[in-house]
Homo-oligomer: A and B are copies of this chain.
């Protein structure tokens, strides 16, 4: 058991650090942004410039194959890169979906031509990508999606609506899963495409979240035409392709939980007065915070165990779902507790409540994190079924053609 790098790892880390020191400023202490913020043109420009700079020196998408512009690095090298980069000020990242989900899916299921066409410009940051999966009536039950594509000659004509698409308005490309055959069972009738986001018939409308952030969009498709050569994998194989995307999604969301902030509660309570004494001397406050810290640290050390497994060449499995499941509720409870301790001032917000602003922001953003990328309930199912091997839920739609699956209460 050893937290030190191997000599190879140390050399790689030194190389990464040296490059970063030359190309970025060290990070000064700051509260990480945890709400979806507006993607201004300026932010997009900065993000693209940084991505390009990295790509030019071989530090972008480092685990991807060299032939498409990657570095061919190992997962542990990628983790080391991530650790080092986190010590530097970098622009907000508009590529997390493209690099975290779209790229890996195309690399796994795309043809050589498709890879050559899309991956290099994804790596250089020239083209930004988004994901078009969820629908208003297909969230947890993603395979119940209703957006359709019908083949006409060499093209597919898409109609329907997607939702929860981050950054749709700034993207060149999107990955899209749609129903191409409603007469077969729901998983069997799906097909996966890459769609150009500037195609005629696409309309994008931002969604306002409860914290007033606008990180997500609705995307409407009206007779949108997609050339057949933008189809990924076979017709009807969309579900298998989507699973690749989703597994990559869960890994990337779970690893960014930022539970480190939990320990800030100790300092926060130094500044809150309860009955004339700092709250940090109150045993109920102390013990409650201790419980939060135990969980937060447990998640942190779990991610180190995962990194060790990566380092040994193992692939992280469904157990990665734990980080989001436990971390999101933990932060919501911690935020609620911090607000509670602020007393009457918890009714204030923003400038009027500077000490608790970060906790309030969490209280308003965490409900979204508990839902995005798999609700708590879906994650518990994944852990129960895929880690513990417990049987699946009884399924009401089993064996039914998609068109026959009930989608609402029976008509009276």
Q: List 11 A-B contacts (CB under 8 A).
A: A282-B283, A283-B283, A283-B284, A284-B284, A284-B286, A284-B287, A284-B288, A393-B394, A394-B394, A394-B395, A394-B396
Number of copies of this protein chain within its complex: 2
Residues of B within 8 A of A284 (CB): 283-284, 286-288
Cα distance A334–B393 in the bound complex, in angstroms:
34
Residue of B nearest to A286 (CB): B284
A142 to chain B, nearest CB (A): 20
Residues of B within 8 A of A286 (CB): 284
Please list the residues of chain A having a beta carbon within 8 angstroms of any beta carbon in chain B.
282-284, 286-288, 393-396
Given contacts A284-B288, A393-B394, 9 further A-B contacts (CB under 8 A): A282-B283, A283-B283, A283-B284, A284-B284, A284-B286, A284-B287, A394-B394, A394-B395, A394-B396
A408 to chain B, nearest CB (A): 13
Residues of B within 8 A of A287 (CB): 284
Residues of B within 8 A of A283 (CB): 282-284
Residues of B within 8 A of A288 (CB): 284
Residue of B nearest to A396 (CB): B394
Cα distance A272–B66 in the bound complex, in angstroms:
68
A290 to chain B, nearest CB (A): 10
A167 to chain B, nearest CB (A): 37
Residues of B within 8 A of A393 (CB): 394
Residues of B within 8 A of A394 (CB): 393-396
Q: Which of A288, A393, A394, A395 is most buried by chain B, counting CB atoms within 10 A of its CB?
A: A394
Residue of B nearest to A393 (CB): B394
Cα distance A394–B396 in the bound complex, in angstroms:
7
Residue of B nearest to A274 (CB): B283
Residues of B within 8 A of A395 (CB): 394
Residues of B within 8 A of A282 (CB): 283
Cα distance A334–B394 in the bound complex, in angstroms:
36
Cα distance A396–B287 in the bound complex, in angstroms:
45
Cα distance A286–B282 in the bound complex, in angstroms:
12
Cα distance A1–B386 in the bound complex, in angstroms:
55
Nearest 9 CB-CB pairings of A with B: A394-B394, A284-B284, A283-B284, A284-B287, A283-B283, A282-B283, A394-B396, A393-B394, A394-B395
Residue of B nearest to A285 (CB): B283
A293 to chain B, nearest CB (A): 15
Cα distance A284–B290 in the bound complex, in angstroms:
12
Cα distance A283–B282 in the bound complex, in angstroms:
7
Cα distance A393–B393 in the bound complex, in angstroms:
10
